[in-house]
């Protein structure tokens, strides 16, 4: 299994370069950047009362541009792959995405991975952008991007969102004919089918192994049906919390700065656990939760009702051995590449250094072939 890490996303800019170099030196296979305007944490609880990070970074919503970070890391490293986790065609026009990721491909000498998904409500709705027909937008964006990449002459594409007439993109990949692989953040049936037909990889959020296997099967079936023979890499993206044990991490998950991450789960997951959906029936946090609209008392009232066990559904957690075992289970389900965002230190900065060391050891462990039972 290949292991990726999340790159630095906040100033100072030199930290973006330094962190990517440290991750390369530690043996990580890849480094990835989210594409955000807004963080998942409401500013109303981004205080020293809840996280010591607020003393260093008073604004929760502090993000450098993803393309700038990827480019800076690309020219400052030599081996590690450079990925987006993930961008979307809501804020970035497909033609611009085609050009941006070919540009990163050049700056990285062919190490770029183009991760794309439907986007989140928090990064679109407050800025006057629409997120309706999300799967259709991704599908048509990928069709346009591949047409611009692969066509030798002007491109004409009938699209309900971005019709192209006599459009051209002269820039090609740094290595002839080898375009950046497109990894799709797919979860629902329609997006899984799109990932199979138009993608080169898959980057869902954390799933249970059986669920992961079933969804990957749908992707591979779609590839076979469409006659796609491009190489494909199955990945997973997950928050990670490394502690002394799973119980140690669950105690941490009582804190609001961890509980808020569980709001990304769909309402059905809460209902299955016997918990009233915090955002209401039929809600889906990635679309419906806008952190900047939540005051302190309102968000704390919602988070109080979320049990730490549900927080554990979105965070890979436990001792290094626990996390390695969980990743091996995903590997057995077909996962080839795990991207880890270490958040072990949200309530205790002293955990930062040992957590990074533990992740580096995970890299060395998981890059070795799994032991075969006697």
How big is the CA angle at 151 (ends 148 and 153), to the nearest 5 degrees? 105
Closest to 216 measured CA to CA, from 116, 334, 324: 334
Place of tokens 């809501």: 90
Q: Contact 29/360 with Cβ under 8 angstroms?
A: no
Q: What is the DSSP code (8-state) at residue 373? A: P
Give the pLDDT confidence of 4-40 residue by residue, as tens digits. 999 999 999 999 999 999 999 999 999 999 999 999 9
Confidence of residue 370 (pLDDT cuts 50, 70, 90): low
Q: Convert the pLDDT of each residue in 240-262 to its tens digit.
A: 999 999 999 999 999 999 999 99
List residues with catalytic annotation. 36, 120
- Residue 154's CB: how many other CB atoms inside 10 A? 11
Separation of alpha carbons 134 and 120, rounded Å: 10
H/E segment holding residue 338: strand 337-342
Q: Map residue 236 onto helix, strand or coil.
A: strand
Contact in structure between 73 and 15 (CB atoms under 8 Å):
no
pTM: 0.95
């Amino acid at each position: 299994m290949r292991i990726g890490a999340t790159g630095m996303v906040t100033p100072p800019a030199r930290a973006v370069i330094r962190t990517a170099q440290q991750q390369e030196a530690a043996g990580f296979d890849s480094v990835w950047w989210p594409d955000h305007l807004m963080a998942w944490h409401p500013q109303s609880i981004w205080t020293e009362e809840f996280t010591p990070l607020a003393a260093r970074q008073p604004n929760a919503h502090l993000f450098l541009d993803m393309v700038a970070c990827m480019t800076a890391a690309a020219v400052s490293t030599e081996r590690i792959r450079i990925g987006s986790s993930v961008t979307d065609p809501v804020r970035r026009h497909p033609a611009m995405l085609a050009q941006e990721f070919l540009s990163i491909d050049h700056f990285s000498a062919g190490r770029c991975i183009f991760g794309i998904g439907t986007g989140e409500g928090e990064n679109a709705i407050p800025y006057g952008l629409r997120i309706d027909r999300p799967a259709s937008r991704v599908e048509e964006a990928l069709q346009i991007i591949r047409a611009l990449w692969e066509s030798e002459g002007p491109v004409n594409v009938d699209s309900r969102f971005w019709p192209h007439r006599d459009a051209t993109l002269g820039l090609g990949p740094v290595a002839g004919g080898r375009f950046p692989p497109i990894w799709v953040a797919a979860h629902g049936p329609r997006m899984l089918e799109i990932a199979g037909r138009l993608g080169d990889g898959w980057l869902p959020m954390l799933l249970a192994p059986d669920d992961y296997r079933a969804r990957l099967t749908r992707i591979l079936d779609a590839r076979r049906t469409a006659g796609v023979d491009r190489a494909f890499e199955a990945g997973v993206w997950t928050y990670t919390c490394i502690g002394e044990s799973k119980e140690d991490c669950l105690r941490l998950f009582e804190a609001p700065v961890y509980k808020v991450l569980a709001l990304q789960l769909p309402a059905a997951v809460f209902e299955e656990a016997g918990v009233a959906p915090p955002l209401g029936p039929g809600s889906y946090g990635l679309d419906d939760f806008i952190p900047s609209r939540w005051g302190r008392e309102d968000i704390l009232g919602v988070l109080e009702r979320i049990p730490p066990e549900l927080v554990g559904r979105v965070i890979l957690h436990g001792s290094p051995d626990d996390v390695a075992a969980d990743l091996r289970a995903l590997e057995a389900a077909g996962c080839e590449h795990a991207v880890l965002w270490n958040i072990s230190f949200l309530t205790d900065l002293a955990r930062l250094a040992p957590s990074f060391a533990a992740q580096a050891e995970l890299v060395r462990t998981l890059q070795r072939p799994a032991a075969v039972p006697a």
